[in-house]
Amino acid sequence: MIERVDEVLALRQHDELSTRDLAALEQLFNREYLRDYGPWTPDAPYGYSPADFHVLAFQGGVLAGHVGFQRRAISVGTDDVLVAGTGGVLVDQCFRGTGLGVRAMRHAQRAMRDEAGVDFGYLGCRKEVVPFYGSAGWVQVQATERCLSNADQTTIIVSHDGPTLICSSIRDASEWPDGDIDLRGTPW
C-alpha cells in the first residue's frame, strides 16, 4: 500500500473485495457510465472481461479511481503471451488532472509484475486517452486484434486500427512479439 497525505492506493484481488469496496466501485462507475451504459456489475462490467486484480485509489477515504486487470494468455503471431488485460481505468471527475490516474496506473503496473507475474500489460483505448497512458509508460503497438464481442460474447470482432497499448512488466515492452493478436476472449 502506498500513501500520500490523504491518498491510499490499495491492491485487492477480485475475490477479496469487501461489500464496501463493491458498493464504492458501483458508485464510481455509475456516476460516469449509468446514463449511457446502464448499471455496473463486478463480474461482467458492461460485458467486458472482469478484473482479477483491482487498484483502488482513495482520496480522503472516498474511492476516487480504479484500475483493473485480468491475467490471461493471448496469442501474438505464433507466440503465447501472458498479459494483464487492463480495463475499468477511471478517475472520478473531481480528481482528474491531479496525477491520481498515473499514480494508480503505476501501482497497477508494479502489481502486474510483482503479484500477477505477467509478461506485459495490455489494453485497448480511445485515441483521445493515448497521451494519458503514454505518460504512465504505455507504448502503442500496431497489429490486427481479434476478440469476442463484449455485447454477446460469441461474435468475433476484428479490429485493424486500435489503439492497442502495452507496458513492460516481467518483460520489457521492446520484446513484444510481431504478429496479429488474438485475445482469446472478450476485451477488458
* Burial of 25 per CB tally in 10 Å (0-12, 13-18, 19+): buried
User: pLDDT of 6-31, one tens digit each?
Assistant: 999 999 999 999 999 999 999 999 99
Return the CATH number at 14. Answer: 3.40.630.30
Instruction: For residue 13, tell me if it sits in a domain.
Output: yes
Going by pLDDT thresholds of 50, 70 and 90, the confidence category of residue 59 is very high
User: pLDDT of 90-120, one tens digit each?
Assistant: 999 999 999 999 999 999 999 999 999 999 9
Instruction: For residue 187, tell me if it sits in a domain.
Output: no
Instruction: For residue 57, tell me if it sits in a domain.
Output: yes
**Residue 32, pLDDT above cutoff 60:** yes
User: Considering the entire predicted model, what is its pTM?
Assistant: 0.94
State the residue for C-alpha cell 458508485. 27
Mean pLDDT, rounded, for 112-135:
97
Q: Which domain holds residue 114?
A: 2-182
Instruction: For residue 133, tell me if it sits in a domain.
Output: yes
pLDDT reported for residue 45 = 94
pLDDT reported for residue 161 = 87
Peptide linkage before 163 cis (omega within 30 of 0): yes
Going by pLDDT thresholds of 50, 70 and 90, the confidence category of residue 1 is low
User: pLDDT of 66-81, one tens digit each?
Assistant: 999 999 999 999 999 9
pLDDT reported for residue 118 = 98
Residues above pLDDT 90, as percent of the chain: 93
Instruction: For residue 62, tell me if it sits in a domain.
Output: yes
pLDDT reported for residue 3 = 46
Contacts of residue 40, defined as CB under 8 A and 6 or more positions apart, other chains included, come to 25, 26, 29, 30, 33, 34, 46
**Overall number of domains in the chain:** 1
pLDDT reported for residue 4 = 55
Instruction: For residue 188, tell me if it sits in a domain.
Output: no
